[in-house]
Structure 1
Amino acid sequence: MKQGAVMLKAHPDLTSLQVHLFGLALGCATGVDFVASSMMGVAGTHIRAGVFASPEDFLWSLTSYAAAAVVANLVLRRIAEDISYRGYTLLSLAVAAAGALLCALCETPFQLSLARAVQGLGAGGLFSASRIIIQLAAEREERRPLFLGFNIGALGMPALAPWVTAQLVQNTDWRTIFLLQAALALATFAFVLAAYPRRMRATLPPWKIEVGKLDWLTVILLGAGALILLHGLGDLRFYEFANSPSVALTPLLGLACVAAVFVHQHRHPDPWLNPRLLLGRRYIAGLSFYALYYFLGGLWGYVVPTTLQSGLDFTFQTAGAVLTTTGLAGFGAALLFTFGGPKLVGQRRYIALGYLMFAGAAWLLSQRMMPGASIAVLLPALTLQSLTVPFVLMLVAGLTYADLSVDSFAHAYQFKNIVRQVATAGGTGMASLWLQYGEVMARTQLVGNITPFAFAQEPDQGTLLRLSRQIDQQALLIASGNLFALLAVACVVIALVAVVQRSLR
């Protein structure tokens, strides 16, 4: 680009350095949300012990954040109309920092759930806000510098989160995790304040938002529905349908509340989420691929750490280092895609390639689920999966919104991130349910193969305890291996669908 050339027509006063810092600030704002979710997943066991929560009680702290994030995405556009997307981002970062500080002060599971809801209400809409800002601030041909900075912040920060979390837990305690999240949100607040362009029009201060004019029926229905749906999906891991068939009714009740929201919005004269704008063929196809990716991401994100620590006896620190290493590989691939992605021809084939890579990674892991498997044996498969991000996510993102206007994009991205929360929770719930049944079946088979003739002498209590531990590990590895094999087949099917479909091309 020539010296002094305008990089953003909407903001001609910004220099090249300022545009790149603007993009990085957009990514860091998104990273605040991603880091909060990642750290909670990685350090969940330690945090749960810190507030003396049962697994069922601790689940509320996960679902309260996700449900609050759904509400944040719902109210995002309407609030931004009053205070601008820049103002919304600053307000959300402040709320996210306050929520993280409240989490650090919690003593009980109930307090943690409420604090996490505050944090989710602040951080949950930052991803959507950042992407809408890019759409508003730059024409299609001007977005590469913004996306470069955005990807550095949005993907680089969560890639480092597992290793940082492990180090904090090892050297301090669980409260430090939330103190770091609060510091990150406040630092990003200052960065956004300095790097975002000034508002193009007069806006209201946050305290003058007319709360009474909000569509509270939609807020209550969607908030309650999302909480019930997400908690119901997560709750599947603690029950067996054979003994508690009513547990399946909870997600259905939540889904009914969410459906009622869209019926209400369809009839509303000025809807927050306009269903009429979300029925395009290209958008529906892209949203379906999004949902598949986040479902598989929730599944993968639950099974891999569980298998590394409980099945293969990796330490918490080692598992964190492995996850960060593979995350950085995906981060590097995303940066390369930022430059080379627009040059790809035949995008459907590359989406299919991404899912074939995912299938290959899952199949490799299914063959390597055995006691004593080393990092060197597992790392190639885990790295291969992380390299799929440009193809199964970023390429889909570039194709999904090609036909949408700026206003339609805001509606579409709000809804996409609502779907993200539900699909991720569904993947996590399905993974935990599969492992639950798979372990029971494998354990039964393993125990059935043990006879008194397997022991040279009558085993003592220590021998029986070690044997029980080995059986539990073997059962988890068998269940994980079977799930990875099934996942490989599913990804091959998705790849075939990607090739034959014609909506995204």
Structure 2
Amino acid sequence: MKPGSPWQPLWRLRVSMRWLRWLSHRQRQTLLMMLLALATGLEFLENIMFVFASSHIVGGLDADPRSFALVQAAYAVGSMLMILKQQWLSRRFGYRYYLTGALLLFMAGTVVAATSHALPQMVVARFIQGVGGGALFTSCRILVNVLFGPTARPRATRIFMIGIFSGSALGPAFAAELIDHGVWQDVFYGVLPFAALATLGAWLLLPDAEPRTDTGGPALGPLLLFGAAIVTLQAALTEARFDVFSHPLRLALVAAAGLALLAVFLWHQWHHSEPVLHLRALRHPVYLTGLAMYFVYYMISNLSGYLFPIYAEQALKIPLAATGWLNTFAALVSLAGIFVYLQVAPRLTRKKPLMVAGLVLMAATAWWFSQMPPDAGPPALAWGLVGKGLFGVLVIIPIAGLTFRALGPDEFAHGYRSKNLMRQVAGSFASALGAVLLQNRQFAVHDSLLHAVGQRPAETEHWMAAMQAALAARGFDAAQAHLGALAQLNGLIEQQARLIACEDIYRLIAVLALGAAAYMLLQRRLP
């Protein structure tokens, strides 16, 4: 360590932790496994908390659903750019410096997000968070293979998966309690202690590695080309709700430009001798089929994850804290399902029936939610939440086991980076699609309900009279009672419109899940 280095304070702390040498080899391995699980779980925790609290964050910024799509896109773009450079950065600086720096950057972005007062600040903050946290999942999963031999790797993989699902389970309830007892900014502040612990652990526990100087240049040209393609495509999706009828040609041109940029990037990477994205190594049919199923899973999971808090809290009027705990209940079902799966998986030679069952179960869950009456309470949602929790276990764990089996050790890292790129694309697309579809459908249903109320003047007047009488009995004068009755009627129409819109999107999720189940049943590459 050179004198005056910016890492000098952390280096002194690392030297002072010589007590770690007194731990056994297995104990040090366990600490490393827990660190990788914590760092990965941190990204899942923050993203799930953000999506759960999205309506409160957007409301606090005085923004709209289109703005939420923009904020999500900023995180996705930052994350994908970092995933593309993950290999170069880890080779250039070593994993300890790289992950410590990435986590510090993630914390900086989190602080900026917590102190944001306008949409542009939040977009910048989420981009910084994406750059810092975007490659944590990829890096930590690669390190599971790098740091642990064949005998310790299964235990490391189990702890790694438990960390992911534990972060997913904690996120909704934690976000709900923070907002219920504070403000929306606390959603970001609440993540910082976990991030600080992961940063300290990365510096103290990850082994030293000599930085490599033969890594070539940073290849900024392809990186900028990819970023321009993703931003353009995301802009087309974000504006689709507003321009599809008013400016269809402009929307088509923007989408075509994004696709053209992406095609140029892929062509360049295919023909380049040292590509950022190693496409040639990932042509195996089993891997490509698994990647397609990953995309479908992340689409359905993120669309459902965005929709449920709005459906429960705003459409069914379930309190915020209860909504968070309902989401956490579903995640705990997933966590319990993992423990069961890990016990029985070695005896299951064919995983296809499990994946088909998981997709059918998700379709049934979405259909169950689409049939709820306006006064449905938490007990009525319980069976749907069990299905939602088991969906992830039955689908994503088998897919993960089958997809990368076809790749050799040298191809695994490239395959995992590509998979996580696709994860960010699917997650951003699903959240933006959910925001756009929900707003679009809600406006349409609201207009229909207003028309229906106007077609029944006698019933409407009777209801208004009864409500005005009830308000007058509470001490309101005639004018106040009339305004109060109008507000009550408008509130009921808005709630009903939101409920119908949410249930329509749940029907869409059911159709997507059934279509994916049919494809999974017919394909022959994933056994």
Whether these two folds match at TM > 0.5 is: yes
Distance in structure 1 (CA, Å) of the matches to 2:324 and 2:31:
29
Following TM superposition, by how much is the alpha carbon of 1:137 offset from its aligned partner in structure 2, in angstroms? Answer: 3.0
- The residue aligned with 1:7 is none
Distance in structure 1 (CA, Å) of the matches to 2:195 and 2:29:
21
Following TM superposition, by how much is the alpha carbon of 1:427 offset from its aligned partner in structure 2, in angstroms? Answer: 1.9
TM-score by structure 1 length?
A: 0.89
- The residue aligned with 1:152 is 162
- The residue aligned with 2:457 is 452
Cα distance 1:105–1:304, how it changes in 2: closer, same or farther (>3 A)?
A: closer
After TM superposition, the structure 1 stretch with the greater mean CA deviation from structure 2, 171-180 or 412-421, is 171-180
SS of the aligned residue for 2:246 comes to coil
- The residue aligned with 1:495 is 517
Give the share of equivalent positions with the same residue, in percent. Answer: 27
Cα distance 1:169–1:479, how it changes in 2: closer, same or farther (>3 A)?
A: closer
Does the Cα contact within 8 Å between 2:300 and 2:512 map onto a contact in 1? no
Does the Cα contact within 8 Å between 2:238 and 2:436 map onto a contact in 1? no
Does the Cα contact within 8 Å between 2:65 and 2:436 map onto a contact in 1? no
Does the Cα contact within 8 Å between 1:25 and 1:149 map onto a contact in 2? no
Runs of 5+ in structure 2 lacking a partner?
1-22, 466-481
Cα distance 1:429–1:247, how it changes in 2: closer, same or farther (>3 A)?
A: farther
What are the Cα deviations for residues 92-143 of structure 1, in whole angstroms up to 9, with x where unaligned? 1121112212223333322222222111101000001111112223455642
Matched to 1:304, the amino acid is: F
- The residue aligned with 2:409 is 406
Distance in structure 2 (CA, Å) of the matches to 1:402 and 1:358:
26
Does the Cα contact within 8 Å between 1:235 and 1:429 map onto a contact in 2? no
Cα distance 1:240–1:334, how it changes in 2: closer, same or farther (>3 A)?
A: farther
Cα distance 1:159–1:244, how it changes in 2: closer, same or farther (>3 A)?
A: farther
- The residue aligned with 1:281 is 285
- The residue aligned with 1:395 is 398
Does the Cα contact within 8 Å between 1:232 and 1:251 map onto a contact in 2? yes
Distance in structure 2 (CA, Å) of the matches to 1:411 and 1:138:
19
Cα distance 1:234–1:23, how it changes in 2: closer, same or farther (>3 A)?
A: farther
Q: How does 1:376-391 map to 2 (within 5 A)?
A: 376-391=379-394
TM-score by structure 2 length?
A: 0.85
SS of the aligned residue for 2:269 comes to helix
SS of the aligned residue for 2:211 comes to coil
- The residue aligned with 1:227 is 231
Matched to 1:472, the amino acid is: E
Does the Cα contact within 8 Å between 1:435 and 1:479 map onto a contact in 2? yes
Distance in structure 2 (CA, Å) of the matches to 1:315 and 1:214:
49
Matched to 2:260, the amino acid is: A
Cα distance 1:385–1:57, how it changes in 2: closer, same or farther (>3 A)?
A: closer
Distance in structure 1 (CA, Å) of the matches to 2:38 and 2:292:
27
After TM superposition, the structure 1 stretch with the greater mean CA deviation from structure 2, 388-397 or 485-494, is 485-494
Distance in structure 1 (CA, Å) of the matches to 2:493 and 2:371:
19
Distance in structure 2 (CA, Å) of the matches to 1:498 and 1:78:
36
- The residue aligned with 2:100 is 90
Q: Of residues 6, 27, 42 in structure 1, which corresponds to 2:52?
A: 42
Matched to 1:227, the amino acid is: V
Which of structures 1 and 2 has the bigger CA Rg? Answer: 2
- The residue aligned with 2:133 is 123
- The residue aligned with 2:30 is 20
- The residue aligned with 1:306 is 310
- The residue aligned with 1:467 is 489
Does the Cα contact within 8 Å between 1:233 and 1:425 map onto a contact in 2? no
What are the Cα deviations for residues 151-176 of structure 1, in whole angstroms up to 9, with x where unaligned? 22222023111111122222233333
Cα distance 1:99–1:446, how it changes in 2: closer, same or farther (>3 A)?
A: closer
Matched to 1:117, the amino acid is: F
- The residue aligned with 1:107 is 117
Following TM superposition, by how much is the alpha carbon of 1:381 offset from its aligned partner in structure 2, in angstroms? Answer: 0.3
Matched to 1:346, the amino acid is: R
Matched to 2:357, the amino acid is: L
Cα distance 1:281–1:141, how it changes in 2: closer, same or farther (>3 A)?
A: farther
Distance in structure 2 (CA, Å) of the matches to 1:213 and 1:380:
54
Distance in structure 1 (CA, Å) of the matches to 2:494 and 2:243:
18
After TM superposition, the structure 1 stretch with the greater mean CA deviation from structure 2, 126-135 or 247-256, is 247-256
Does the Cα contact within 8 Å between 2:55 and 2:310 map onto a contact in 1? no
Cα distance 1:339–1:83, how it changes in 2: closer, same or farther (>3 A)?
A: farther
Following TM superposition, by how much is the alpha carbon of 1:220 offset from its aligned partner in structure 2, in angstroms? Answer: 0.8
Cα distance 1:303–1:48, how it changes in 2: closer, same or farther (>3 A)?
A: closer
1:203 paired with 2:211, answer yes
Divergent runs of 4+, >6 A: none
Distance in structure 1 (CA, Å) of the matches to 2:87 and 2:452:
60
Matched to 1:180, the amino acid is: G
Following TM superposition, by how much is the alpha carbon of 1:248 offset from its aligned partner in structure 2, in angstroms? Answer: 5.1
Matched to 1:309, the amino acid is: E
Report the number of matched residues.
Answer: 485
Does the Cα contact within 8 Å between 2:61 and 2:119 map onto a contact in 1? yes
Q: How does 1:216-295 map to 2 (within 5 A)?
A: 216-236=220-240, 239=242, 241-245=244-248, 246-247=250-251, 249-295=253-299
Distance in structure 2 (CA, Å) of the matches to 1:141 and 1:258:
41
1:193 paired with 2:203, answer yes
Matched to 2:505, the amino acid is: L
- The residue aligned with 2:14 is none
Distance in structure 1 (CA, Å) of the matches to 2:283 and 2:255:
24
- The residue aligned with 2:433 is 430
What are the Cα deviations for residues 41-78 of structure 1, in whole angstroms up to 9, with x where unaligned? 22233333444545544543322111100001000011
Distance in structure 1 (CA, Å) of the matches to 2:42 and 2:304:
22
Distance in structure 2 (CA, Å) of the matches to 1:183 and 1:254:
39
Following TM superposition, by how much is the alpha carbon of 1:335 offset from its aligned partner in structure 2, in angstroms? Answer: 3.1
After TM superposition, the structure 1 stretch with the greater mean CA deviation from structure 2, 419-428 or 43-52, is 43-52
Cα distance 1:379–1:463, how it changes in 2: closer, same or farther (>3 A)?
A: same
Distance in structure 1 (CA, Å) of the matches to 2:387 and 2:283:
34
Cα distance 1:37–1:64, how it changes in 2: closer, same or farther (>3 A)?
A: same
Matched to 1:264, the amino acid is: H
Does the Cα contact within 8 Å between 2:304 and 2:509 map onto a contact in 1? no
SS of the aligned residue for 2:190 comes to helix
Matched to 2:355, the amino acid is: I
Distance in structure 2 (CA, Å) of the matches to 1:285 and 1:140:
26
Cα distance 1:301–1:336, how it changes in 2: closer, same or farther (>3 A)?
A: same
What are the Cα deviations for residues 385-407 of structure 1, in whole angstroms up to 9, with x where unaligned? 11111221111011000021222
What are the Cα deviations for residues 406-429 of structure 1, in whole angstroms up to 9, with x where unaligned? 221111111111111111222223
Cα distance 1:139–1:501, how it changes in 2: closer, same or farther (>3 A)?
A: farther
- The residue aligned with 1:421 is 424
- The residue aligned with 1:10 is none
Matched to 1:485, the amino acid is: R
What are the Cα deviations for residues 169-221 of structure 1, in whole angstroms up to 9, with x where unaligned? 2223333332332322111112233444x24x5226xxx998x8111111111
- The residue aligned with 2:334 is 330
Distance in structure 2 (CA, Å) of the matches to 1:81 and 1:61:
31
Following TM superposition, by how much is the alpha carbon of 1:447 offset from its aligned partner in structure 2, in angstroms? Answer: 3.4
Two-structure CA RMSD over aligned residues (Å)? 2.5
SS of the aligned residue for 2:405 comes to coil
Matched to 1:114, the amino acid is: V
SS of the aligned residue for 2:370 comes to helix
Following TM superposition, by how much is the alpha carbon of 1:14 offset from its aligned partner in structure 2, in angstroms? Answer: 6.6
Cα distance 1:164–1:288, how it changes in 2: closer, same or farther (>3 A)?
A: same
